[in-house]
Amino acid sequence: MPLDHATLLQLKRWNTPTIFNGWEQITGADIGRDGFNCEPVTDFMPEMGPMVGRAVTVRFEPSKKDHVARNPRAWSEYRSYVASQPGPKIVVVQDLDKPRLAGAFWGEVNSNIHRALGCVGSIIDGGIRDLDEMRNAGFKALARGMCVGHGYSVPVEWGVEVEVFGRAVRPGQLIHADKHGFLAIPSEDEERLLEAAVFMDANECRTLIPAARGSSGITTDELLARIDAAGEAFGKAAQKKFGKKGEW
């Protein structure tokens, strides 16, 4: 069953690295190869904190004028697709002109329209513009860069698997994103994700972090011994809970 809105709100309280730390304990995926972006991405609204939602996907190619005439109803049909999907939604946009920034898919108008359709933000492997106006709309964006013009921006394909920042994202996939990047979560890992993230954060707070911070008045050798012991305790707790040792 899809996660309910209350669970998504709880996931939003944690940063994306914390969600990753939980995810790595429960997934069968390769944690060094799968899940998160493998190319640099910039969060242009870090002050808005993390965003969580279901992927709605679209491709565009702003350098190609022909796309505008090919389907005059493309924007309308694409918006109908977005509106039909369950929220909260994150629009994941593949720019077929990569690495060129030939035009921005996002600006003030498009951000306000998508916010009205239940979208909380976007991950776009391309350009955005009207940055202050996007913030004012409450629409978060992780992007490759900024661009002055929109070019011939029109949806080319939507509701298909896309590739952004070296990561494949499927329609409906759960996304967690913040200033560190984004994580696209396999559907089979959703159910235990929140529990795992909360547990692993508490595990750090009970073991390694206090050991590292409690260094006053002890020798370096004593500090190193405490950290070693804390790392062992961290690993044992993770092993007992998930059958995996965890990061430490």
Residue 46 sits at the vertex; the CA angle it makes with 42 and 50, to the nearest 5 degrees, is: 100
pLDDT at residue 50 is higher than 80: yes
Which one of 136, 154, 185 terminates a domain?
A: 185
Question: How large a percentage of the chain has pLDDT more than 70?
Answer: 100
- 114 with 223, same domain: the answer is no
Whether residues 144 and 201 share a domain: the answer is no
CA 44 to chain centroid, in Å, comes to 13
Kindly state whether residue 20 falls inside one of the protein's structural domains.
Answer: no
Residue with tokens 């002109």: 97
Q: Into how many domains does the chain fold?
A: 2
- What is the chain's percent helix, strand, coil content, to nearest 5? 40, 25, 35
Measured between alpha carbons, how far is 96 from 208 in angstroms, rounded to an integer?
45
Residue where a domain stops, chosen among 137, 165, 185:
185
**Does 142 share its domain with 44?**
yes
Residue 124 and residue 233 share a domain: no
Q: How wide is the angle at C-alpha 43 spanned by C-alphas 22 and 90, nearest 5°? A: 70
Instruction: Determine the pLDDT at residue 103.
Output: 96
Q: Residue 215: inside a domain, yes or no?
A: yes
Six-digit token string for 110: 């498009």
Contacts of 138 (CB under 8 A, 6+ apart): 48, 115, 120
pLDDT mean over 214-234: 93
Please list the residues that pair with 42 across neighbouring strands.
143
Q: Is 67 helix (H, G, I), strand (E, B) or coil?
A: helix
Whether 247 maps to a domain, the answer reads no
pLDDT, tens only, 118-174: 999 999 999 999 999 999 999 999 999 999 999 999 999 999 999 999 999 999 999
Cα–Cα–Cα angle for 25, 28, 29, rounded to 5 degrees: 100
Q: List the helix and strand counts (H, then E) for the chain.
A: 9, 11
User: Based on the domain organization, do 209 and 129 belong to the same domain?
Assistant: no
Residue 134 and residue 215 in one domain: no
Q: CATH number for the domain including 57? A: 3.50.30.40
> In sequence order, which ranges of 27-130 are alpha helices (DSSP H)?
66-70, 74-84, 108-116
The reported pLDDT for the residue numbered 67 is: 92
Residue 10, burial from CB neighbour count under 10 angstroms (0-12, 13-18, 19+): middle
Total length of the chain: 248
Across all residues in the chain, what is the average pLDDT? Answer: 96
Based on the domain organization, do 151 and 213 belong to the same domain?
no
Q: Is 41 inside any structural domain?
A: yes
Q: Give per-residue pLDDT as tens, 65-93.
A: 999 999 999 999 999 999 999 989 999 99
> Does the residue 180 lie in any domain?
yes
- On whether both 110 and 87 belong to a single domain, the answer is yes
| pLDDT 10s digits, 4-20 | 999 999 999 999 999 99
Report yes or no on 123 lying in a domain. yes
Q: Are residues 43 and 163 in the same domain?
A: yes
The verdict on 56 and 138 lying in the same domain is yes
**Domain limits at 238?**
194-242
Q: Is residue 22 part of a domain?
A: no
**Strand pairing partners for 185?**
174
Q: Is 6 part of any domain?
A: no
CB 204 within 8 A of CB 246: no
- Domain end among 166, 185, 204: 185
Single-letter amino acid code for the residue at 26: I
How far is it, in rounded angstroms, from Cα 223 to Cα 241? 27
> Which tokens is 4 given?
């309910």
